[in-house]
Amino acid sequence: MRNPKELQDLQEEAASLRRYLAVLEDRQLQAMMQSEDGEKALSESQQRRESRERSRSETEAELRKEQAALQNSLATLGVQREAALAAVSAEDMEKYSSVRRSKRGLAVVRLEGGSCSGCGVTPSAARIDAARSGQEIVQCGNCGRILYLG
User: In the 8-state DSSP scheme, what is residue 117?
Assistant: T
pLDDT at position 1, please?
54
Break the chain into its structural domains and give their ranges.
1-87, 90-148
Considering the entire predicted model, what is its pTM? Answer: 0.52
Compute the distance between CA of residue 46 and CA of residue 40 in angstroms, rounded to an integer. Answer: 10
Exposed e or buried b for every residue in 24-50, given b needs 16+ CB within 10 A?
eeeeeeeeeeeeeeeeeeeeeeeeeee
Compute the distance between CA of residue 105 and CA of residue 111 in angstroms, rounded to an integer. Answer: 18
pLDDT at position 150, please?
72
Taking only Cα atoms into account, the Rg of the chain, rounded to an integer number of angstroms, comes to 41
pLDDT along the chain (150 residues), means of 10: 83 95 97 97 98 97 98 96 88 90 90 88 89 86 88
pLDDT at position 133, please?
84
pLDDT at position 131, please?
86
> Three-class SS of residue 110?
strand
pLDDT at position 14, please?
95
Four-point Cα dihedral 68, 70, 76, 79, nearest 10: -110
pLDDT at position 72, please?
97
